[in-house]
Amino acid sequence: EQNPYQDQLDLTPVNGDGFLVYPGPNGPLNSIRWEVIRDGIEDHDYLCMFRELLEKVRARGGHETLVNQALREIDYKKVVPDLTNFPRDPQVLVTERRNLARYIEKLSEAAR
């Protein structure tokens, strides 16, 4: 009977319970967990698009400078150095996402 918008403590279910959406006064409410999962799916889509475009441009030929530049600048180790570590600065991920998007656009143009 508690209102979670006024008092977030001692509620059942509680924060961190693994729910992706929560009941709201006008329907379901997203959780941060839900948003992060969506971001991860979008990141995966970006990486797949990048790889496919890179292969397409390589096969087409004539854009070796762009391909080499993309391979140098898109460095996954900046975001995921290994299986147990990650940068604590969120700007690192944001910057790499922007770089990836920029190269997806450039490679798309080169693939035409």
- CA 107 to centroid of chain Cα atoms: 19
Task: Count the helices and strands in the chain (H runs, E runs).
Answer: 3, 2
Q: Are strands 27-30 and 21-24 parallel, antiparallel or unpaired?
A: antiparallel
Q: Residue 105 has what pLDDT?
A: 97
Residue with tokens 């209102």: 3
CA distance 97 to 57: 20
pLDDT of residue 32: 87
* pLDDT recorded at residue 1: 65
Mean pLDDT of the chain: 88
pLDDT tens for 33-55 read 899 999 999 999 999 999 999 99
How far from the centroid of its chain's Cα atoms is residue 16's Cα?
22
Cα 47 from Cα 44, distance rounded (Å): 5
- Model confidence pLDDT, tens digit, residues 1-36: 667 677 766 556 555 667 788 888 899 988 888 999
Give residue 17's pLDDT. 66
Query: What is the biggest distance separating any 2 CA atoms in the chain, rounded to whole angstroms?
Result: 67
pLDDT value at position 11? 56
Average pLDDT of 55-73?
A: 94
